[in-house]
Amino acid sequence: MRLALWLGGRLAGIALTLLIVSILVFGILYVTPGSAEQVLLGTRPSSPETLAAIRERYHLDESVGSQYVHWLSSAVRLDLGESVRSGQDISTMLSERMPVTLFLAAYAALIAGVVGIPAGLVAGIRSGTLTDRAITVATTICVSAPSFVVGFLLLYAFGVALDWFPNYGTGGGLVDRAWHLTLPAVALALAPMAILARQTRASALKVYHQDFTTFARARGLPRRVVLGRYALRNSSLPVVTTAGLVVGYFLTGTVLVEQVFAVPGIGTLMIESVSTKDVLVVQMLALVIALFMLSANLLADLGHLALDPRVRKGVLG
């Protein structure tokens, strides 16, 4: 019951945040220069009759408030409207583009987690050694290299010179898609991987020198139990929080990476839509990204509940 209440409160908060985001995005797009009807008519002169027809069809002659209400009342009925740039249903566009981006984000998250967390753990436990310093230097490089620069470097090295991976596109089928998206996923994963490694290192360092870990080692417990049950679990709280934030980064970071690797996901859609002032599409993308971020944070908090009895007690009584 307490959990349901807590969860309900959080979900209501998410809904309210989304509403505020939608108003802000709509308002900001409305005041930026450029007109939607010009996107609809292309780059050729247009007649007043055509303009009038377009304005009426897309409610462009109404006030910003009533345009927003139009959008909101359709959106809650899950009618997302159509793109002014292509005339396609936005729900179709999302269903076409979302899977690619989610695949890319999940792949990148996997790489970041599988490489970043163990690397951080090793660095934390062996702090001060050459391994630790090497990992620290590497993470510094990874976190500071812009993803599009890394992208081109990867493309040149593994796409053109070694010819191991394709240079662009998404491929069909699971294996082919993974092959196509490996380079973009690596480019996307590097910075969050480094952040995760740093975070894991810091908390492992702290936990590993605490009395209970020393005691566990003194009792002669096997290394994997000391590391797995004592060090990793106890150092995972800040890591889970970071992971929540980092997952949000995947959706925004993908804007640059998708552009470089010609991946037709929501990142490239965002670029196309912002540059042509495709208001409804930008609105929807902003909401999807916000929803993703908020859900990731909620999951991270749920993760806290599962991992830490103290937090569980605080929330559930």
Partner 1 sequence: MYRRILMVLVLGVGLGLTACGSEGGASSRDSTLRWAISSAPRSLDTAHAFDGTSVNVINELLEPLVVVDPQGQLEPKLASSWRQTDAVTYVYTLRDDVTFWDGSPLTAEDVVFSIERHRDPAVASEYGTYVKDIASVTATGELEVTFTLKTAVPEFKYLVALFSHTVKKSFAEEHAEDLGDSKTLTMGTGPYQATTFSADGVEVTRNDEYWGEPPTWEAIRFDVIPDADTLHLAVDGGEVDGTFNVPLTSSRNWDTLSDTSVHYVDAPISTVLSMDTTAPPWNDVHLRRAVAHAIDRESIVATVFGGHGRVSQSIIDPSLWSFLGPDVEDFETTFDGVRAYEYDLDKARAELAQSAHPDGISFTVTYPSGRASVGKPLQVMAASLKEVGITLTPKEVPASEWIGYIYAHQDLGAQILAVAADYPDPGVARLLLGKENAVPNAFNVANFTSPELEDLLAQERSADTGTRVDAMHQIAKIAAEEVPYVPLFFLDSTLALGKDLRYAGDFSYWTPLLDEWANRVQVRK
Nearer to partner 1, 48 or 222 (CB): 48
Asked whether position 129 contacts partner 1 by CB under 8 A, the answer is: no
Q: Measured between alpha carbons, how far is 124 from 133 in angstroms, rounded to an integer?
A: 10
**Stretch of residues binding partner 1 (CB under 8 A), selected from 103-111, 132-140, 225-233, 234-242:** 132-140
Nearer to partner 1 (CB atom), residue 1 or residue 47:
47
The binding track of 261-280 with respect to partner 1, each residue x by CB under 8 A or -, is: xx-x---xx-xx-xxxx---
At 257, list the tokens.
């990476």
Instruction: Tell me: does residue 50 bind partner 1 (CB under 8 A).
Output: yes
- Is 41 among the residues that bind partner 1 (CB under 8 A)? yes
Residue 82 to residue 175: CA distance in whole angstroms: 33
Q: Please give the full DSSP string across 239-295, using - where no structure is assigned.
A: HHHHHHHHHHHHHHHHHHHHHHHT--SHHHHHHHHHHTT-HHHHHHHHHHHHHHHHH
Q: Looking at residues 135 to 174 of the shown chain, list those that interact with partner 1 (rule: CB under 8 A).
A: 135, 137-138, 141, 152-153, 155-163, 166-170
Output the CA torsion 211→213→217→221 (10° steps). Answer: 140
Binding segment for partner 1 (CB under 8 A), chosen from 39-47, 216-224, 291-299, 309-317, is 39-47
Distance CA 287, CA 280 (A): 11
Using the rule CB under 8 A, give the single segment among 12-20, 36-44, 218-226, 296-304 that binds partner 1: 36-44
Q: With respect to partner 1, which residue has the nearer C-beta, 52 or 64?
A: 52
With the C-alpha atoms ordered 92, 98, 100, 101, is the resulting torsion angle positive or negative? positive
Kindly calculate the radius of gyration of the chain based on its CA atoms and give it in whole angstroms.
24
Per CB under 8 A, 212 contacts partner 1: no
Binding window for partner 1 (CB under 8 A); candidates: 4-12, 35-43, 224-232, 296-304: 35-43
Closest separation between CB of residue 212 and partner 1, Å? Answer: 30
Residues that bind partner 1 (rule: CB under 8 A) add up to a total of 65
Cα(227)–Cα(207) distance, integer angstroms? 10
Q: Are the C-beta atoms of 180 and 166 separated by less than 8 Å?
A: yes
Q: Determine the Cα–Cα distance for residues 176 and 142; give it in Å rounded to an integer.
A: 27
Q: In the complex with partner 1, which residue's Cβ is closer, 67 or 268?
A: 268
N residues, the chain: 317
Considering only residues 25, 54, 121, 290, which one is a binding residue for partner 1 as defined by CB under 8 A? 54
Taking residue 14's Cβ as centre, other Cβ atoms within 10 Å add up to 17
51 binds partner 1 (CB under 8 A): yes
**Nearest distance in Å: CB 206, partner 1:** 24
Nearer to partner 1, 62 or 89 (CB): 89
Cα–Cα nearest to 65, from 23, 15, 34: 23
How many whole angstroms separate alpha carbon 97 and alpha carbon 86? Answer: 14
The residue ranges that bind partner 1 (CB under 8 A) are 32-35, 38-47, 49-54, 57, 85-89, 92-93, 96-97, 119, 134-135, 137-138, 141, 152-153, 155-163, 166-170, 259-262, 264, 268-269, 271-272, 274-277
